[in-house]
Amino acid sequence: MRAGHCLAALAAVTTLAVAACRPANPVAMDADVIVVGAGIAGLAAALEAESHGARVLVVEANSVAGGHAVRAGGFALVDTPLQRARGLHDSPDIAFRDLMAWGEDADPWWVRFYVENSREQVYDWLTAMGVQFTMVVPAPQASVPRFHFTRGAAVNAVLPMIREALGRPRIEFLWNTEVTELLRRDGQISGIRTERSRTSGRRLYHAPAVILATGGFQSNLDLVRRNWRRDLPAPARLLIGAGQYATGSGLRLVEPFGAALTRMDHQVTFVNGLPDPRDPSGGHGLLTQNPAAIWVDATGRRFTNEAASGKVTDRAVLRQSPATHWLVFDAVGARQLTIRGAAWLSAKTIQEDILDNPTLVSKADSVAALATAAGLPPDALLETVQRFNRFVDQGMDTDFGRIGPGMTEAPPPALRQPPYYAIQLFPMTRKSMGGLVIDHEARVLGGAGQVIRGLFAAGEATGVAGINGSHGGEGTFLGPGVLIGRVAGRSAVALALGPRALTVRAPPATAPASTAPAPVVQRSQTANLPALLAQHRQGYWHFGVSHALVLERALACDGCHKDPWGTGPATSTAQRLVQLESCTKCH
Binding site for ligand FAD (CB under 6 A): 36-42, 59-62, 67-69, 71-74, 178-179, 213-215, 242-243, 245-246, 249, 341, 430-431, 459-461, 475-478, 481
The correct pick among 189, 293, 294, 583 for binding ligand HEC (CB under 6 A) is 583
The correct pick among 208, 243, 285, 489 for binding ligand HEC (CB under 6 A) is 243
288 vs 275: CA distance, rounded Å: 10
Q: Shortest gap between Cβ of 162 and ligand FAD (angstroms)? A: 11
Q: Shortest gap between Cβ of 482 and ligand HEC (angstroms)? A: 16
Helices 92-103/108-117 angle, 10° precision: 140
Q: Does 350 bind ligand HEC (CB under 6 A)?
A: no
Nearer to ligand FAD, 539 or 566 (CB): 539
- The single-letter DSSP state of residue 438 is B
Which range binds ligand HEC by CB under 6 A, 15-23, 401-409, 510-518, 562-570?
562-570
Q: Does 193 bind ligand HEC (CB under 6 A)?
A: no
Q: Does 257 bind ligand HEC (CB under 6 A)?
A: no
Answer yes or no: are the C-beta atoms of 137 and 126 closer than 8 Å.
no
Q: Shortest gap between Cβ of 339 and ligand HEC (angstroms)? A: 12
CA 216 to chain centre: 8
Residue 431 binding: pick among ligand FAD, ligand HEC, none (C-beta 5-8 Å cut-off by kind): ligand FAD
Considering only residues 65 to 84 of the shown chain, the ones binding ligand HEC according to CB under 6 A are 65-68, 70-71
Q: Shortest gap between Cβ of 543 and ligand HEC (angstroms)? A: 4
Site string for ligand HEC, 264-303 (x = CB under 6 A): ----------------------------------------
Answer yes or no: are the C-beta atoms of 419 and 406 closer than 8 Å.
no
With H, G, I as helix, E, B as strand and everything else as coil, classify residue 432: strand
Residue 73 binding: pick among ligand FAD, ligand HEC, none (C-beta 5-8 Å cut-off by kind): ligand FAD
Q: Shortest gap between Cβ of 458 and ligand FAD (angstroms)? A: 7
Residue 476 binding: pick among ligand HEC, ligand FAD, none (C-beta 5-8 Å cut-off by kind): ligand FAD
Residues 6+ apart with CB under 8 A from 226: none
Answer yes or no: are the C-beta atoms of 73 and 155 closer than 8 Å.
no
51 vs 35: CA distance, rounded Å: 14
Residue 543 binding: pick among ligand FAD, ligand HEC, none (C-beta 5-8 Å cut-off by kind): ligand HEC
578 vs 564: CA distance, rounded Å: 8
Residue 323 binding: pick among ligand HEC, ligand FAD, none (C-beta 5-8 Å cut-off by kind): none
Nearer to ligand FAD, 52 or 148 (CB): 148
With H, G, I as helix, E, B as strand and everything else as coil, classify residue 224: helix
557 vs 285: CA distance, rounded Å: 30
Q: Shortest gap between Cβ of 536 and ligand HEC (angstroms)? A: 13
Its sign, for the CA torsion 545, 547, 549, 551, is negative
Q: Shortest gap between Cβ of 174 and ligand FAD (angstroms)? A: 9
Residues 6+ apart with CB under 8 A from 179: 36, 59, 61, 192, 193, 194, 214, 249, 253
Considering only residues 511 to 540 of the shown chain, the ones binding ligand HEC according to CB under 6 A are 525-526, 529
Concatenated DSSP letters for 12-67? TS-HHHHHHHS-SSPPPPS-SEEEE--BHHHHHHHHHHHHTT--EEEE-SSSSSBG
The correct pick among 21, 545, 574, 578 for binding ligand HEC (CB under 6 A) is 545
Site size with ligand HEC, rule: CB under 6 A = 39
Residues 6+ apart with CB under 8 A from 252: none
Site string for ligand HEC, 5-44 (x = CB under 6 A): ----------------------------------------
Q: What are phi and psi of 14, to 5 degrees?
A: -85, 175
Q: What radius of gyration, in Å, describes the C-alpha atoms of the chain?
A: 26
Residue 526 binding: pick among ligand FAD, ligand HEC, none (C-beta 5-8 Å cut-off by kind): ligand HEC
Q: Does 550 bind ligand HEC (CB under 6 A)?
A: yes
487 vs 289: CA distance, rounded Å: 37
Residues 6+ apart with CB under 8 A from 395: 403, 404, 405, 411
Neighbour-count burial of 122, counting CB atoms closer than 10 A to its CB (0-12 exposed, 13-18 middle, 19+ buried) = buried
The correct pick among 6, 9, 29, 343 for binding ligand HEC (CB under 6 A) is 343
Q: Does 587 bind ligand HEC (CB under 6 A)?
A: yes
388 vs 394: CA distance, rounded Å: 10
Q: Does 562 bind ligand HEC (CB under 6 A)?
A: no
Q: Shortest gap between Cβ of 127 and ligand HEC (angstroms)? A: 21
Residue 545 binding: pick among ligand HEC, ligand FAD, none (C-beta 5-8 Å cut-off by kind): ligand HEC
Q: Shortest gap between Cβ of 322 and ligand HEC (angstroms)? A: 27
Instruction: Extract the runs of DSSP E, i.e. beta strands, from 297-381.
Output: 325-329, 338-340, 361-364
Answer yes or no: are the C-beta atoms of 176 and 194 closer than 8 Å.
no
Residue 63 binding: pick among ligand HEC, ligand FAD, none (C-beta 5-8 Å cut-off by kind): ligand HEC
Answer yes or no: are the C-beta atoms of 326 and 361 closer than 8 Å.
no
Nearer to ligand HEC, 188 or 214 (CB): 214
Q: Point out which residues bind ligand HEC (CB under 6 A).
A: 62-68, 70-71, 243-245, 342-343, 525-526, 529, 542-543, 545-547, 549-550, 555, 557, 559-561, 567-569, 579-580, 582-583, 585-587
